[in-house]
Structure 1
Amino acid sequence: MEAKITANKLGEYLTASARRRRSIIKTIQEEGGFPAMHYTDARNAICDYLSGNISSQQLLEKSIELKNYVSDNNFSQSTKNASGAAIEDFIELEDEIVVKNCLIRKGSDFQENSIEISGVKVGAKPDLMLLSADTEEVVGCIKFHFSQSASLEKDSAEYTATIMKKHLEDNYTGGNKIDPKKILIIDNPTGEIYEAPKSTKSRLKDIEAGCEEIFARWEI
């Protein structure tokens, strides 16, 4: 099987202990590299709202609907209830998300969702793409972190932001400079918002080394 990992998980991997790194590789192999998202309903609703497809009232109604969802399938009920709570968290932090002079588009409307680094396919799908209001060229993106089990660490978020920046430069801008302040990694449970570092050269070397390690261990 091809070595695969998501950008969020790679960011975690790069800041993890040796023991945790082995565990991450084992888990992503079992999940096929790109695991099913447990917050799909929250992600879709929030992206619909921020891209202007639904109103704030509709977003609130979606949160209530999901929080009150009942099913004989415990997994289905728990994931939908969690998505409802995640939307509620987002509503609390919404005013902290400031994006100036940009058009906001759903990431699912764009074809390229991954980047290859040192033999590893890295899933780098933005939740939302940010386009210049003047030229409609890609200038940044937004990616959410929804997990309630572990807060997003600053170093991990900045690695993820660096990966997303490289993804946009390689796949959408022909190497043109992306605005680091418009690469936003949002930890939804805590409300923390991280931007891409101004300088990414050192982090890119760490990312390449980490992917080399994942590739070498993938079949072990």
Structure 2
Amino acid sequence: MPRISANKLGEYLVTTSPTRRRRIILDQKQPSQAVVPLYRLADEPLAAFFAGGGDQTELDRAVVRLKSDTSGTTWAIDDRRRTAEALEAILGLAHKLPKDGIAYTPGQEHPPQLQIKGLNISVAPHFLLRFEHRGVPCVGALKFHYPKSADLALEQKGGEYVATLLHQWLTLHGPRNHKPMPSHCLSIDVFRGAVVAAPNASTRRMADIAAACEEIAAHWQQL
């Protein structure tokens, strides 16, 4: 079945280049089996950071450890360096994240996907945010976007699309008896320091998302 990640769908929705849109679809259809995801080493330090209430000591230690480790292949060394840079960037934007009364928990390892117009969308929040608002249990979600290249930036509009997908995912698959809050559905473009929340009004953005999904599904078989 045609598929795409939420961040790639966000990129697709904001790019004006037909060549770039085609490449996004092709990369999703024919991913390289040899590629190991970058920044996976950030998961454990970030979980400890949020569990510790935002104590930057956990991330500082991880940065030092990753930068000082020169073992393994050139790729492994570069991966650790990039991850350290990402953690430093997250420290620089941490003041923009909600803290008071928020419990951050890591997202599921194999979360359910959204299905829109014949397209499977992997939303996969990195963290869920649980809190109470006026006595009502609420939930939000957070997803990081790591690419450094300006060509892969989500920008404000792309971040809003991704955050809207997070809110939609919570509405369908979030914890029971918790109200999904758009204000706490956050798309974070790490190396640009952008933290974008889902807009309260999502009808137009969901229409844009549905149209893009239909377009991707239609082109899928042609590539």
TM range, normalised to the smaller chain?
A: 0.7 to 0.9
TM-score scaled by length of structure 2: 0.86
Partner AA of 2:213 in structure 1: C
Gap runs ≥5 in structure 1: none
In structure 2, the residue matched to 1:202 is 204
The CA RMSD measured in Å over matched residues stands at 2.6
Deviation at 1:19, TM superposition (A): 2.3
CA distances 1:104-134 after superposition (whole Å, capped 9, x unpaired): 111137x634211111111111111011247
In structure 1, the residue matched to 2:145 is 145
Deviation at 1:181, TM superposition (A): 0.8
CA contact (8 A) 2:102 2:129 kept: yes
Question: Which of 151, 154, 157 is the aligned partner of 2:156?
Answer: 154
Moved more, 37-46 or 5-14: 37-46
In structure 2, the residue matched to 1:112 is 111
Matches within 5 A, 1:100-139: 100-108=100-108, 112-133=111-132, 137-139=137-139
SS of the residue corresponding to residue 180 of structure 2 reads coil
Deviation at 1:186, TM superposition (A): 1.4
Matches within 5 A, 1:1-220: 2-17=1-16, 18-31=18-31, 36-52=36-52, 56-108=56-108, 112-133=111-132, 137-150=137-150, 151-172=153-174, 178-220=180-222
Deviation at 1:183, TM superposition (A): 0.7
CA distances 1:32-55 after superposition (whole Å, capped 9, x unpaired): 79x853111123321331133995
Change (3 A) 1:37 1:48: farther
Deviation at 1:155, TM superposition (A): 0.7
Moved more, 16-25 or 152-161: 16-25
TM-score scaled by length of structure 1: 0.87
SS of the residue corresponding to residue 108 of structure 1 reads coil
Give the % identical residues.
Answer: 28
CA contact (8 A) 2:138 2:179 kept: no
Change (3 A) 1:218 1:8: same
CA contact (8 A) 2:41 2:83 kept: yes
Change (3 A) 1:147 1:205: same
Deviation at 1:139, TM superposition (A): 1.6
CA contact (8 A) 2:45 2:58 kept: no
